[in-house]
Amino acid sequence: MQELASPNDMRAWSRTERGRGRRMSFVPTMGFLHEGHLRLVDRAREVADRVVMSIFVNPLQFGPREDFGSYPRDLARDRQLATERGVDCLFVPSGEAMYPTDPVVRVLGGPMADTLEGAARPGHFTGVLTVVAKLLHLVEPDVAVFGRKDFQQAMLVRRMAADLDFPCDIEIAPTVRELDGLALSSRNVYLKGDDRRAALALSRALRAVEQTWRGGEADPRALERRGLDVLAAPGVTPEYLALVDAQLHPVARVDAKTIVVVAAKVGGTRLIDNVILGEGIANDVSVRTAGKD
């Protein structure tokens, strides 16, 4: 596996590979890799000849009171996992290399970026879209693969690529969960003891909404109340649970395409999750991770 830190080297490597006729795919991450990230690599390998993964904890997408400084990092372990999974090129730029000066021009997601996660984390999606735009310009992939776990992010990236004519397909891969339902996240490492159990409230709330809908309830407010009841478990501070469409608008009528999005704090850790009602949590990917279950 090639490892590059310089943006110019990244672009040169990518152009050389494309010049040889290779189809390129790209998996952007903030590292501390888990099986959710690695499934994106599997998908990226299926659709291209060369897979680039980036690891960059992007300061622009963290609020002043968020966990940028303490975000989990382990490059040696990430390097090994990426190599084993068949990543061809690992791009690990420094903050200075990505932002030699504070960027004046940034990508705004508009109203779609101001709701839900954007309302809870002002400026978050501006940071995400700006760094994804920069990374797509440096890597120039044919396809970039994102996880549905971060549903609003995936929708915004897809919209950015369409609205700003990025010559790149945006693939969205299913959420990967622990066997007990907890969606994998680098931040799960913060969950100790009771918090790990309490964190199941998110996937339980999604499942409760799904089951109630399958039982015939179609009123979004009734479904939302059902979800919030389950979410309000001991040790959990609910932030939102909403039934939305792919543009993140609240739905007036619930159908199989409706997405239930949820956010809550467990201890000091903010967690998010979602389900597409018609697909259901059962159709997500479940894995047994080391030391769990």
Query: Which of 14, 25, 29, 188 touches ligand AMP (CB under 6 A)?
Result: 29
The reply to whether 124 belongs to the active site is no
CB of 273 to ligand AMP, least distance (A): 9
Nearer to ligand AMP, 203 or 258 (CB): 203
The active-site residue out of 37, 124, 137, 249 is 37
CA atoms of 24 and 139, how far apart (whole Å) = 9
115 or 153: whose CB is closer to ligand AMP? 153
Choice from 4, 13, 26, 37 touching ligand AMP (CB under 6 A) = 37
- One-letter amino acid of 196: R
| Length of the chain, in residues | 293
141 to 170, contacts with ligand AMP by CB under 6 A? 146-147, 149-150
Contacts with ligand AMP in 182-221 (CB under 6 A)? 183-186
What is the spatial distance between Cα 55 and Cα 106, in angstroms, rounded to a whole number? Answer: 20
152, 154, 157, 161: CA torsion to nearest 10: -130
CA dihedral 190, 191, 193, 195 (to 10 degrees): 140
SS3 state at 287? strand
- Matching residue, tokens 């609910």: 238
Residue 40 near ligand AMP by CB under 6 A = yes
The residues annotated with a catalytic role in the active site are 37
What is the binding site for ligand AMP (CB under 6 A)? 29-30, 36-37, 40, 146-147, 149-150, 173, 175-176, 183-186
